[in-house]
Amino acid sequence: MKEFLGHALFSYGRYVQEIAALFGLRNTDAILTDDQWQNLTALINKIDKGVEYLALPAYKKACEELLSLLAGKEHPSRRTLQPLLVELNKRIEVELKAHTYLCVPKEQSDFYKNPLKDWQIVIARISQDGI
């Protein structure tokens, strides 16, 4: 069982969507500045770690595509990035809808993480005597 950090992924997704929207308002052939490139790379790396944690393969692939583009020697143009950022946002929505997440109160989460904790005596007894 993993703790679902959906709030973080959704906030990253919204931030990416805002970046993509801002790109549409400016000269789309403009190249990212060094600061924009560093900030976007850091953000995509954060998202990539969260996606890996939640095992969302399609979203991870979108992150990897963006990271490979950002790893190039030249900074990409806004025209190149905008569709990739929009696709990144769409993939998380689709993948999260394809999963079922259950809310487990924090107080009860240990029961699900380690269900046999403190049951060794009972398990040993059942193994000996049978049911």
Average pLDDT, the chain: 79
Q: Give pLDDT, residue 89.
A: 80
Cα→Cα distances 129→71, 116, 118, 126, Å: 62, 19, 19, 5
Could you give the CA distance from residue 47 to residue 12 in angstroms, rounded to a whole number? 7
Burial (Cβ within 10 Å: 0-12, 13-18, ≥19) of residue 89: buried
Q: Is the pLDDT of residue 28 over 80?
A: no
Report the pLDDT value the prediction gives residue 68, as an integer from 0 to 100: 92
Radius of gyration of the chain (CA): 21
Q: Nearest to residue 46, comparing CAs of 59, 31, 34, 35?
A: 59
pLDDT in tens, 33-57: 788 788 888 888 888 887 887 788 8
Mean pLDDT of 83-96: 82
pLDDT at 71 over 70: yes
pLDDT for 116 beyond 60: yes
Check pLDDT > 70 for residue 21: no
pTM: 0.65
